[in-house]
Structure formats: structure tokens, C-alpha cells
Amino acid sequence: MKKIRQPIIAVLGHVDHGKTTMLDRIRNTRVAEKEAGGITQHIGATEVPIEVIKKLAGPLLSLWKGEIKLPGLLFIDTPGHEAFTSLRARGGSLADLAILVVDINEGFQPQTIESIEILRKYRTPFVVAANKIDRIKGWKVVENEPFLVNIKRQDQRAVQELETKLWELIGKFYEFGFQANRFDRVQDFRRELAIVPISAKYGIGLPELLVLIAGLAQKYLEEKLKIEVEGPARGTILEVREEVGFGTTIDVIIYDGTLRKDDIIVVGGRDKAIVTKIRALLKPKPLDEIRDPRYRFDQVDEVSAAAGIKIAAPNLEEALAGSPVIAVRSEEEIEKAKKEILEQIKSVIISTDKVGVIVKADTIGSLEALSKELQEKNIPIRKADVGNISKTDVMEALSVKEEEPLYGVVIGFNVKVNEDAEEIAKAKNIPIFVGNVIYKIIEDYEAWVKAEKE
Ligand code: GDP
Ligand code: MG
């Protein structure tokens, strides 16, 4: 049986521009009428059912002609471009859509630019939330109002200032090759980027933001979102973690099919595919039902896409964040899944004795993103792996340095440098470039190369 699943939505943007505040506000959305149903907490994600959006939106729904048949929206709880690069699936992004949050008073910042580059690379459609409009001088705040209602309360000056700031933003997007416009002035959503002015803090404009996303998904992604719901599940690992009473578990976003408690799953490990049998499928308990923090989960028998779920199973210690999870129901499928997963891992985790840089990242997805950038700049890679920067990495760079000093470096994205690695790097003069903005890390490395050559 085919059904349309919830689109998976990711939130990106510069630090402090309001990503977390916006997600919190969406999570806390309450709709007065009981029958509208509530927001459901998943593992690593939050689901907003379509009834809630319809109730919030009221007449705004007329933005979209035609009915919205989606069951709702699934927001990934971890915002930021680092998280986004980890969310890889089917060679692209796990996220079907994204919200780029930009502080309207600050405009483009380094992580805004990084987010745009990443969204472009993954071809992920997105909308822009121009946040913190309440900070505009003289702005009159009414909590939770749609933007189009709230704007009517503002005096001429505040409206003018908003327009000026929007124009600046639109100009910036133009520089980056996007035609953008305020959402209610967009003629063609396929060609123009929609900007919704919001205040995450006060909930202004969030109704429009939600309606817009739902409408875009319905109109342009319906085919992609149609899944064979009874089929075996596919997902991506968000996180690998210890859980009291369950051992090592994986938090997974399921984007296809149904995962059943008695399924076998195949997941990616560092140098192998792990085949294991599910012990338990865990969902977070509603907050008000948690009496003992040790029992934070409810066990379920099955879960259908799209959903976030915690899987407890043996042998997950070496599972890799960002790698695929494939459920299988026959021997033959096991072999196929193993092959597919191994191919994916081998395309990302590199281990050669070439003269080249050492690359580390926090997940297989972010490692792939960083390696691709380096390759595009013709910077050779000797080793690319998931994990913090270790002494071994520095030693490896040291051996490269003997052959080609400019490649004797370690480059890391969203990882820590172990203490002993730091010490030996200092002693042996091996530069380490780390950070959480890919293009900045590469710029730093290139600046260093330039300085060394002079
Ligand atoms: P993140 O780093 O993008 O997740 O940003 P946060 O959500 O943590 O927000 C950073 C700061 O901006 C916090 O102090 C928030 O309270 C504040 N903030 C976020 N949204 C708004 C808004 O709409 N209006 C105002 N005035 N402040 C906001
Ligand atoms: Mg945050």
C-alpha cells in the first residue's frame, strides 16, 4: 500500500540567529481545540501533524490551491549545517526540505553562507525564515500572530524598515545566485526563494512558515514522499549512544518503509557492515509520564516512515553516525544490503599511502562533505576517517611531511583534538586545522600553504 509520508525538515543557519528558539517554539505549539491533536516527540525529531498546521493557518491555507494530503511535518531536532551534512541518505540528503534561519538585523554571516552552499550542493529545496523582526524599531509584538496579520498593526516607519532589511537580504541572495522574495509576493515557488519574516521568540510568522513548507512539499515533493509503507525500512543513523539497560543503541530517522521489532537490520560500521537482530524499538515517553529517568522510553512493535526511533540491538558499538540502516527480511536481502552499505562506506572512508592530507570528521556524512570540497580544490587525501583527531593521525601527517611538507597536516570538521595528539603536533610542528565551517577550515589551510610558500 502506498502512502504519502511526512517530509523531513532540517533547520540551518548562523549561530545565534534563532534556530533553536524557532524549533522550541514549533515544539511548544499548542492548539486550543483538543481534536487538533498534539505535536509528537520522536527520537531526534518532532512531528507536527497536518491538523495542527491547518488549525494554525486558517485562511492562510488559501496560499495553496488544492488540498494538502501530507500527514504532517517531521522536524529534525538538531539544527545547524554540521548536523545537516551528517544526515545523508541515498547519496543525497535525508532532509526533504530545509529552513534557513537568518537574523534579519545581521544578514548573511559565515555559517549562513556555508548553509546555502551545502543546500545548493545537496539540491535541497528550502525556505528562508528572516528572524527577529520584533527587534525592528517600534515593532508591535503580538504573540503567535501570522505575519500578515501582525504587519497590519505596524506603523509606516517599522514597515519601511522591514522592507529595507528585506531588500538587503534579497540582494544578498541574488549575489549567491538566488532570486528571492517575500513569500506573499512570490509568483513561482519553483524559481523563487520564499522569505518569511518571523519572530521565533514570539511566534510571529510561524503559521505562514509551516503552511508554506507543507504546501511546497505537497506541491513539489509528492512523488518523492510516496512510499510503499509495508516495505522493509530504510533510515540513517543520527547518533550512536549508550543507554542504561539497553547497552549501545542507535538513534535513527526512518525515511522509507516500516521497521518491525523482529526485523534484521544491516548498518554501517567503520570497515564493515554490521548485521544484527533488533532487541527493542524505543520511543520517548511523553514528558509528563516520566517518573523515573531510567525508564524514559516506551517499547513499540513497529514504526513507519517518517519517524525517529531508537534501536537497541547487539553489536552496535562500532556503528557509524550518518551511515545507512537497512531492514531485511530474507538471507538474500542481507547480502544485498551489506554490499550496498560497504560500497557507501568505502566511497567515504579513505585509507591510502598516498602523499596527501589527513581528514577527520564527526560522521560519515560530514566526512564526505569535507572530502568532496578538498577534492574539488585538488588537495590530495591520504586518509579520511570518522572520529576525533588522534596521535596516529598526527604521526601519519608527520610521515607525509617528510615527503611533502605542504600536505603534512590534519584537517578536521566538528571533531576534537585528543590531548596526546595536540602535544605531539606541537612538538613535531604539524598544523591541525579544525572548525565547524568547511570553507573556513579550507581557507585557513590555504592561507597557511600560501604563507609557507613565501
Ligand atoms: P541558534 O544558535 O541559531 O540556535 O540561536 P538561539 O535560538 O539559541 O538564539 C540565540 C539568541 O537569540 C537567544 O538569546 C534567543 O533568545 C534570541 N532570539 C532568537 N530568536 C529571537 C527572536 O525572534 N527575537 C529576539 N528578540 N530574540 C531572539
Ligand atoms: Mg542552537
The pLDDT value given to residue 454: 87
pLDDT tens-digit map of 110-120: 999 999 999 99
| pTM for this model (two decimals) | 0.93
Evaluate: CB of 135 within 6 angstroms of ligand 1. yes
Distance 79 CA to ligand 2 centre (A): 7
The pLDDT value given to residue 60: 75
SS3 per-residue string spanning 45-97: EEEEEHHHHHHHHHHHHHHCCCCCCCCEEEEECCCCHHHHHHCEECCEECCCE
Contacts of 291 (CB under 8 A, 6+ apart): none
Reply yes or no on whether the pLDDT at 291 is more than 80.
no
* The ligand 1 atom nearest the CA atom of 101: 3
Average pLDDT for 246-263? 96
C-alpha span between 356 and 130 (Å, rounded):
41
Distance 23 CA to ligand 1 centre (A): 11
Reply yes or no on whether the pLDDT at 319 is more than 60.
yes
pLDDT tens-digit map of 308-317: 999 999 999 9
Average pLDDT for 342-360? 94
pLDDT tens-digit map of 146-163: 999 999 999 999 999 999
Identify any residues that bridge with 273 across adjacent strands, giving them in sequence order: 268
The pLDDT value given to residue 214: 94
The pLDDT value given to residue 107: 98
Reply yes or no on whether the pLDDT at 294 is more than 80.
no
Listed residue (10, 238, 257, 253) closest to 124, CA to CA: 10
Reply yes or no on whether the pLDDT at 66 is more than 80.
no
The pLDDT value given to residue 270: 83
For residue 281, how many C-alpha atoms fall within 13 Å in the half-sphere facing its CB?
22
Evaluate: CB of 199 within 6 angstroms of ligand 1. yes
pLDDT tens-digit map of 21-55: 999 999 887 665 555 567 889 999 999 999 888 88
**Residue owning grid cell 509495508:** 230
